[in-house]
Chains A and B, each alone.
Chain A
Amino acid sequence: MNDFELPNFALALPEMFLLGMTCLVLVIDLFLNEKNRIVTYLLAQLTLLGAVVITYYQAGYVSEISFSGSFIRDEMGDILKIFIYVITAVVFLYSRDYLQQRNQLKGEFFALGLFGVLGMMIMVSAHSFLTIYLGLELLSLSLYTMVALNRDSEASTEAAMKYFVLGAIASGMLLYGMSMIYGATSSLDIAEIGKHISENGISQDGHIDMVLSFGLVFIVVGLAFKLGAVPFHMWVPDIYHGAQTPVTLYLGAAPKLAAFAMIMRILVEGMQAIHADWQLMLTAMAVLSLAVGNIIAIAQTNMKRMLAYSTISHVGFLLLGIIAANKDGYSASMFYVLVYALTSVGAFGMIILLSRSGFEADTLDDFKGLNERSRWYAFMMLLIMFSMAGVPPTVGFFAKLWVIKAVLDVDMTWLATAAVLFSVVGAYYYIRVIKLMYFDKPIDNAEISASMDMRFVISTNGLLMLVLGIFPGALMAICQSVIS
């Protein structure tokens, strides 16, 4: 690219809007006193709403690459971005009460959250290794800081430290891998890399270029770190547990969508030609994640830690679709990650709902007898747990059905069998939560206090598990159509 052409700025309109608004939020927040902090929250929500509108109006056009090949706007990106906005908005809503009750409603939480969203958007729309890395770092730095926000808590500080060190290692790995790929293909542009690898990556006798394969290994390791796949999962439980619940909520949901996009851009669009090589690595990681996540989760007594291990097992499921390495599999993974994000927001939201000032409802015992305290929220949690376990008629079933179908389609029956067997193991700890809610006597009899909007949204969130489970067709069709 010798001749400079003016980038098509309109493509990055959502990103620019979000950046501008976030800076505005940051500045306005400076001039607000404690009482009016809610304005920051409202502005943050408004920003996300605006981003939804802009992205929505952009969606539907043919995909286009600009900024000298480093930025892409396509339908998959649009859908993922819209989900990222919506899920982050729900996260902000759930968090507001929690933070307010503890006098911790700070503008930083929302500003960092929005910067994180910007990072995710860049990851989703990145079309060169450099942009991917920039987006990833923007997201990661926001996350490190958010985990550390509750600086008086030892656990949070420790979690932030761990997260930072391990996250830096992962970024290093990824960057190292990227540099090798650059060495092998002499390009950072994903389309160029894809072209180069499919033309020159594999020699006549079927061996892949040495540098390329080393680069691939480092990239997969980096991705696995970010996803939390076994054996690169060690940080997940500690960070989920140590961070404040709203932060856990934030980092457990939307960033998974961005990580999915990153896999799609790097492995699928960039390295589809050598899929046999990454398939093998992902298969090992998927099986290990399913096993480790599901089995260790049984031993947990802390809800957040249990959900952290459950996340690891869900990552295993998510990888199954990628392993299939075809269009159907990618759609299945995308559906899985969207469903997972919605479910996990609901699960962490329930912890927030049951918590109140000076009391964290983050152990399993805090869920005891929920049915006697509130039939409705117990039912919502029941739907969320069954969806996580993949029991129909909740949507989690269709998410699992599709990824299993994808691996069966490529004749990996053993993998499908292993996955369903581990999902039985997983079912145990999910139904244990239901057991606590329905069969046990409550320990804590406090009224459930939550604002109206939180009640409304968490009810919608829970019912969505059922509604999407009965009518999964539309969301499935979307996932199918946006993967090209």
Chain B
Amino acid sequence: MLFGYNIILSVLIWLPIIGGLVVLAAGEKRARVISLVVTIATFLLSIPLYTQFDMTTAAMQFGELHAWIPAFNINYQLGVDGISMPLIILTSFTTVLVVLSAWEVIKKKPEQYMAAFLIMEGIMIGVFSALDSILFYVFWEAMLIPMFLIIGVWGGPNRVYATIKFFLYTFLGSVLMLVALIYMGLKEGSFSIQGFHSLPLTMNEQIFIFIAFLLAFAVKVPMWPVHTWLPDAHVEAPTGGSVILAAIMLKIGGYGFLRFSLPITPDASNALDWLIISMSLIAVVYIGFVALAQTDMKKLIAYSSIAHMGFATLGFFLVFSIIDNTGSAKEAALGMEGGMVQMISHGFISAAMFLCVGVLYDRMHSREISDYGGVANTMPMFAAFMVFFSMANAGLPGTSGFVGEFMVILNSFKANFWIAFLAATTLILGAAYTLWMVKRVIFGEVANDNVAQLKDMNAREFVILGVLAAAVLFFGLYPAPLTEVMHASVEHLLQHLSLSKL
């Protein structure tokens, strides 16, 4: 509540966007300070979402509703539940770190860089809080514009190819979703997402709509076989771009499955869950092997992101076979919550990993594993962090990376042993590719003169990684604050899924 009005979500969306415009106008010198102030303010303002959140209900909270385009019954409708609220806080948290990480590093047009990230933050919060499908789509697509520029302007040598691929891939994925949304909007008479949830659809319609959504979300997650844009985009993006891409944008795909695919087309999801499960398992196993073969650190982490997001989608779509096997929707909740915990935890860990690579890249201007070796000798403090985050990435118990994976694997036993078996290979593969990279980069003798001249982290880098390490450890040891806000919403979703729309 602010001045008696419930405008907190609007503030969270528009404060960074307006802040971004101010940064653009303020120019190079003051860009950094203003950006930091705006992102910290946004983060602080997002905390009441958690503290004032009513965990007992699955209903949308902090709602706002204004007419936007009355002619079509399109509204500016916002609200959050236990699924979207943690993602919004993750977004506002990560953006602060991104601004910090760019502090000295970005020398070319820092005001445009900062503004792009601030505007992006507002748009991403908009995606998570939109309850009108056209509003959602506007935010969803608008997100591409700043990211397109971030990769293209501040990226690596092959940035143009990467960013155009990124843009066209995602654009192609999402246009069919637009057709599906309008189709349902015409049937429903409004574009409210909650209205779509209860809209009766025939099996045929559901299949087509499901596929349209799948294209959009699978590209975003990304799932095998439409993942190929991600390694390119990650490798070429500046550190901040990679962080936002991995920590938030991939989650938007997962969020889409929970908010659109599952509740709007439950019967099609049920009928086609084998498709998603196979795609997820291929992501976990095959992409795990692909990651093993990488020589570029960022590419390796990018592939590991695909594998980890495979866990999230696996958790979401296992629910149908679990409900079939056990007959109760409650049993399936663990897997779905596991998928969501995995998304949040991956947000922290992948951000941290990309920031670690960024720390090295800023010093050596190389991402090749073979250019490094024995970094621990010259950068002991950094090495400690890097090893810690790698352990978390490999799913070490006590870190948040473990919690989500464990919940999903545990739950998948209830669905099918072989699914659980394949999913569990990640414990080996994840450890293999991450730790092998750490071994080659961090440990051993000092490999060359460049490594010998490395300076350890400065205070700024220490703060960024320290905060992330604390978060990873906290949610690893005590995930309850995260899971308990999801309970009601997940249960409601599962309840909804178990009822056929036919």
Which A residues are closer than 8 A to B by beta carbons?
371, 375, 382, 386, 391-393, 397-398, 401-402, 404-405, 408-409, 413, 416-417, 420-421, 423-424, 427-428, 431-432, 434-435, 438-439, 472-473, 476-477, 480
Chain A residues, CB < 8 A from B182: 401, 404-405, 408, 416
Contact A438 B178 (CB under 8 A): no
Q: Across the two chains, which residue of chain B brings its CB closest to A427?
A: B171
Q: Which of B137, B152, B182 has the most CB of A within 10 A?
A: B182
Question: Given A408-B186, A434-B148 in contact, is the A393-B175 Cβ separation under 8 Å?
Answer: no
How near does chain A come to B339, taking the closest CB pair, in angstroms? 29
List 26 A–B pairs whose Cβ atoms lie within 8 Å, in order of A's numbering.
A375-B112, A382-B145, A386-B145, A391-B142, A391-B145, A392-B138, A392-B139, A393-B138, A398-B69, A401-B134, A404-B178, A405-B185, A408-B186, A420-B179, A421-B172, A421-B175, A421-B176, A424-B168, A424-B171, A427-B167, A431-B164, A435-B163, A438-B149, A438-B153, A439-B160, A476-B69
Contact A392 B142 (CB under 8 A): yes
Chain B residues, CB < 8 A from A480: 71
Instruction: Determine whether B144 belongs to the interface, using a CB cutoff of 8 Å to chain A.
Output: yes
How near does chain A come to B209, taking the closest CB pair, in angstroms? 11
Contact A439 B152 (CB under 8 A): yes
Contact B71 A417 (CB under 8 A): no
Question: Given A401-B134, A405-B72 in contact, is the A423-B179 Cβ separation under 8 Å?
Answer: no
Chain A residues, CB < 8 A from B144: 391
How near does chain A come to B110, taking the closest CB pair, in angstroms? 13
Contact A417 B152 (CB under 8 A): no
Contact A417 B138 (CB under 8 A): no
- How many angstroms from the CA of A428 to the CA of B160 in the assembled complex? 12
Q: Across the two chains, which residue of chain B brings its CB closest to A432?
A: B164
Q: Across the two chains, which residue of chain A brings its CB closest to B183?
A: A408
Instruction: Determine whether B70 belongs to the interface, using a CB cutoff of 8 Å to chain A.
Output: yes
Q: Across the two chains, which residue of chain A brings its CB closest to B74?
A: A473
Chain A residues, CB < 8 A from B167: 427, 431
Contact A473 B142 (CB under 8 A): no
- How many angstroms from the CA of A148 to the CA of B282 in the assembled complex? 63
Our pick among B168, B172, B183, B185 for the contact of A413 (Cβ within 8 Å) is B183
Chain A residues, CB < 8 A from B160: 435, 439
- How many angstroms from the CA of A402 to the CA of B134 in the assembled complex? 12
Query: What are the nearest 6 A-B pairs in CB distance?
Result: A420-B175, A392-B138, A439-B152, A473-B69, A424-B172, A392-B141
- How many angstroms from the CA of A401 to the CA of B186 in the assembled complex? 12
How near does chain A come to B2, taking the closest CB pair, in angstroms? 22
Chain B residues, CB < 8 A from A408: 179, 182-183, 186
- How many angstroms from the CA of A476 to the CA of B69 in the assembled complex? 8
- How many angstroms from the CA of A236 to the CA of B283 in the assembled complex? 48
Our pick among A375, A397, A434, A477 for the contact of B141 (Cβ within 8 Å) is A397
Q: Across the two chains, which residue of chain A brings its CB closest to B123?
A: A393
- Cβ contacts B108-137/A at 8 Å (1 or 0 each): 000010000000000000000000001001
Within 8 A of A (CB), among B429-461: none
Instruction: Determine whether B308 belongs to the interface, using a CB cutoff of 8 Å to chain A.
Output: no
- Cβ contacts B159-196/A at 8 Å (1 or 0 each): 11001100110011001101100110110000000000
Our pick among B72, B152, B176 for the contact of A420 (Cβ within 8 Å) is B176
- How many angstroms from the CA of A477 to the CA of B153 in the assembled complex? 39
Which B residues are closer than 8 A to A by beta carbons?
68-72, 112, 134, 137-139, 141-142, 144-145, 148-149, 152-153, 159-160, 163-164, 167-168, 171-172, 175-176, 178-179, 182-183, 185-186
Our pick among B68, B69, B149, B176 for the contact of A417 (Cβ within 8 Å) is B176
Question: Given A392-B137, A439-B152, A439-B160 in contact, is the A405-B186 Cβ separation under 8 Å?
Answer: yes
- How many angstroms from the CA of A52 to the CA of B366 in the assembled complex? 62
Chain A residues, CB < 8 A from B139: 392
- How many angstroms from the CA of A386 to the CA of B141 in the assembled complex? 11
Q: Across the two chains, which residue of chain A brings its CB closest to B155?
A: A439
Chain A residues, CB < 8 A from B175: 420-421, 423-424
Question: Given A391-B145, A392-B138, A473-B70 in contact, is the A438-B179 Cβ separation under 8 Å?
Answer: no
- How many angstroms from the CA of A432 to the CA of B167 in the assembled complex? 11
- How many angstroms from the CA of A409 to the CA of B179 in the assembled complex? 11
How near does chain B come to A249, taking the closest CB pair, in angstroms? 26
Question: Given A393-B138, A416-B179, A476-B69 in contact, is the A428-B168 Cβ separation under 8 Å?
Answer: yes
Contact B183 A393 (CB under 8 A): no
Contact B71 A391 (CB under 8 A): no
Contact B148 A472 (CB under 8 A): no
How near does chain A come to B206, taking the closest CB pair, in angstroms? 14
Chain B residues, CB < 8 A from A423: 175
Chain B residues, CB < 8 A from A434: 148-149
Given contacts A439-B160, A476-B71, could you give 11 more A-B pairs where the C-beta distance is less than 8 Å? Answer: A375-B112, A392-B139, A393-B142, A404-B182, A416-B179, A416-B182, A420-B179, A428-B168, A434-B149, A476-B69, A480-B71
Contact B179 A428 (CB under 8 A): no
- How many angstroms from the CA of A472 to the CA of B138 in the assembled complex? 13
Chain A residues, CB < 8 A from B171: 391, 424, 427
How near does chain B come to A67, taking the closest CB pair, in angstroms? 34
Q: Across the two chains, which residue of chain A brings its CB closest to B111?
A: A375
Q: Across the two chains, which residue of chain B brings its CB closest to A428?
A: B168
- How many angstroms from the CA of A397 to the CA of B175 in the assembled complex? 11
Chain A residues, CB < 8 A from B138: 392-393, 397
Chain A residues, CB < 8 A from B185: 405
Q: Across the two chains, which residue of chain B brings its CB closest to A376?
A: B24
- How many angstroms from the CA of A397 to the CA of B182 in the assembled complex? 13
- How many angstroms from the CA of A427 to the CA of B175 in the assembled complex? 11
Question: Given A408-B179, A417-B176, A439-B153 in contact, is the A477-B186 Cβ separation under 8 Å?
Answer: no
Q: Across the two chains, which residue of chain B brings its CB closest to A420?
A: B175
Contact B152 A438 (CB under 8 A): yes
How near does chain B come to A263, taking the closest CB pair, in angstroms? 22
- How many angstroms from the CA of A423 to the CA of B178 in the assembled complex? 12
Q: Across the two chains, which residue of chain A brings its CB closest to B135?
A: A392
- How many angstroms from the CA of A398 to the CA of B141 in the assembled complex? 13
- How many angstroms from the CA of A398 to the CA of B163 in the assembled complex? 25
How near does chain A come to B171, taking the closest CB pair, in angstroms? 5
Chain B residues, CB < 8 A from A391: 141-142, 144-145, 171
- How many angstroms from the CA of A392 to the CA of B175 in the assembled complex? 12
Question: Given A423-B175, A424-B172, A477-B71 in contact, is the A431-B183 Cβ separation under 8 Å?
Answer: no
Chain B residues, CB < 8 A from A409: 186
- How many angstroms from the CA of A420 to the CA of B175 in the assembled complex? 6
How near does chain A come to B491, taking the closest CB pair, in angstroms? 34
- How many angstroms from the CA of A375 to the CA of B112 in the assembled complex? 10
- How many angstroms from the CA of A371 to the CA of B116 in the assembled complex? 14
Our pick among B69, B145, B152 for the contact of A435 (Cβ within 8 Å) is B152
Chain A residues, CB < 8 A from B153: 371, 438-439
- How many angstroms from the CA of A203 to the CA of B437 in the assembled complex? 79
Question: Given A408-B183, A420-B176, A420-B178 in contact, is the A472-B69 Cβ separation under 8 Å?
Answer: yes
Q: Across the two chains, which residue of chain B brings its CB closest to A409?
A: B186
Q: Which of B72, B164, B175, B176 has the most CB of A within 10 A?
A: B175
Contact A473 B179 (CB under 8 A): no
- How many angstroms from the CA of A375 to the CA of B153 in the assembled complex? 13
Q: Across the two chains, which residue of chain B brings its CB closest to A473?
A: B69
Q: Across the two chains, which residue of chain A brings its CB closest to B175?
A: A420
How near does chain B come to A79, taking the closest CB pair, in angstroms? 15
Chain B residues, CB < 8 A from A417: 176, 179
- How many angstroms from the CA of A402 to the CA of B182 in the assembled complex? 9
Chain A residues, CB < 8 A from B145: 382, 386, 391
- How many angstroms from the CA of A438 to the CA of B148 in the assembled complex? 10
Chain A residues, CB < 8 A from B148: 431, 434
Contact B164 A428 (CB under 8 A): yes
Chain A residues, CB < 8 A from B159: 439
- How many angstroms from the CA of A371 to the CA of B111 in the assembled complex? 13
- How many angstroms from the CA of A409 to the CA of B152 in the assembled complex? 39
Q: Across the two chains, which residue of chain B brings its CB closest to A393?
A: B142
How near does chain A come to B27, taking the closest CB pair, in angstroms? 10
How near does chain B come to A470, taking the closest CB pair, in angstroms? 9
Chain B residues, CB < 8 A from A375: 112
Chain A residues, CB < 8 A from B168: 424, 427-428, 431
